[in-house]
Amino acid sequence: MEIGKGEEIFDNGFMGGIQSDAAGFNNIHLEAVVALATSLRHDTKCKVSEEFWHGTNNAAFKVTFEDGVEWICRVHEEAENVSSTYTTARLNSAVATMRYIKSNSSILVPTIHAHESRNNVPGLGSGYIMMEFIPGIEVDSSPGALSDEDEIQVYEQLARVTSELSQLRFHQIGPLYQAISGEFYVGPFVTEQGQSFGPFDTSVEFFKFKVEGIRQRYSEWLKKDVRSDADMERAHSLLSHYEKIAAQLSDYDDGNYPLAHGDLGTHNVLFVRDLTGNLQISGVLDWDSAHASAWPDFGQFPALMEIQWPGFETGEYSPFVLEHLLKIQTLFREGLRKYESVRSNHSDRPLVSLVVDSPAVRVAEFILMYSDLDRYGVDCSMLLKYVRAWRKDWN
């Protein structure tokens, strides 16, 4: 997340909206954050840090109480042309996922103190999460930024998080929610337009849902500008292949689906150094995209570690960058094998180290990640190269 500047204030000070170019953040006011935090701790005075962090949809503020307790208030923007049903579902699912993980794994996530998914309080956006502040830093994952020893520690621990998530299994594919009774369940995906889809019982159903989204985007793309006959043929041919692929993407489809973070990577993980100087994960953040996942979806390398295959095929990677990515991928995979070797139940399949970056995963990535015609420039010959490595008899 980007860091911006605000003003440090105490509990009754006034401040206008945060300084951001995004119009959706204009209704977020620090005095409202202070008032909320104060009320949640029985009128204990607090201040908000001069720095705040903001991403595409959220702004996060560090709140420090006069007794030294520190929280984070994460406020969701009010975005135009985005359904409140979508923002409500996204925030509720993130909260449910963090609570589930805290109760069912050793993965370090913030404790939730309060949240409101359909907010009506002026100055607090469309919803907020008030949570525990976790100290730590994001490590620099660029080539050469970390020592060899630090890289081993970072990527082995990312592997441990992935391995633990793979053991949290569900019988359907979809985001996690929590009922009023406290029970966790898998529910539907919700689009920005407020439409609900799922949950899905099989991987094929999930990937067909994803391809339907591609169909709609391609239709809009073809109507947006005057397109050549070659453009239209390319779009229709790719869509035809995606539909055929989705109907067969049933690899590892055993009805036990792992919980995926959705955007796991060093940019969403905090580290601290222990007394011996080793890097240790202190918290895993930003669970907005988490969901019970089809295995070909779960098996992608974490963000900032993946090789984007369209770019690879067109020679966009320098040998130096490619060598670094292959190195950290190897460290990550070795970490997966390390944690699998100490698991007591070796009959529990599939092994994540065998799923990650498998041919089925690479093919699924074209549906999940590379279907943007303008951005990635995928054509049928590129796609079929990967499909035939997955299905030798493809025709």
CATH code of domain 148-390:
3.90.1200
How far is 117 from 110, CA to CA, in rounded Å?
Answer: 17
| pLDDT at residue 4 in the model | 39
State how far the Cα of 377 lies from the Cα of 90, in Å rounded to an integer.
Answer: 30
Per-residue pLDDT of the chain (395 residues; tens, 9 = 90+): 433 333 333 333 323 444 444 455 677 888 999 999 999 999 999 999 866 676 677 889 999 999 999 999 999 887 778 898 999 999 999 999 999 999 999 999 999 999 999 888 888 888 999 999 999 999 998 898 999 999 999 999 999 999 999 999 999 999 999 999 999 999 999 999 999 999 999 999 999 999 999 999 999 999 888 888 999 999 999 999 999 999 999 999 888 999 999 999 999 999 999 999 999 999 999 999 999 999 999 999 999 999 999 999 999 999 999 999 999 999 999 999 999 887 655 555 678 999 999 999 999 999 999 999 999 999 999 999 999 999 988 87
CA distances from 219 to 117, 222, 231, 239 (A): 33, 5, 12, 10
pLDDT per residue over 88-133, tens digit each? 999 999 999 999 999 999 999 999 999 999 888 888 888 999 999 9
Q: What is the pTM of this model?
A: 0.90
Q: What digits encode the pLDDT tens for the residues 46-58?
A: 999 866 676 677 8
In this prediction, residue 345 carries a pLDDT of: 52
> What amino acid is encoded at 154 in this protein?
V
What distance in Å separates the CA atoms of residue 160 and residue 243, rounded to the nearest whole number?
34
Angle, CA 136 vertex, CA 330 and CA 164 arms, to 5°: 45
Residue 341's identity, in one-letter code, is S
Give the H or E element holding residue 280: strand 279-284
Q: Regarding the domain delimited by 2-132, which CATH topology (the fold level of the hierarchy) does it fall under?
A: Phosphorylase Kinase; domain 1 (3.30.200)
Quote the pLDDT of residue 13. Answer: 31
pLDDT at residue 11, as a whole number? 32
Q: Which helix (H) or strand (E) holds 244?
A: helix 229-246
Q: Is 213 exposed, middle or buried (0-12, 13-18, 19+ CB in 10 A)?
A: middle
What's the DSSP call for residue 258? E
3-class DSSP state for residue 164? helix
Rounded alpha-carbon distances, angstroms, from residue 301 to 34, 64, 128, 185, 203: 39, 36, 30, 26, 19
* pLDDT given for residue 19 in this prediction: 46
Domain ranges of the chain: 2-132, 148-390
Q: How deeply is 344 buried, as exposed, middle or buried, from its count of CB atoms within 10 A (0-12, 13-18, 19+)?
A: exposed
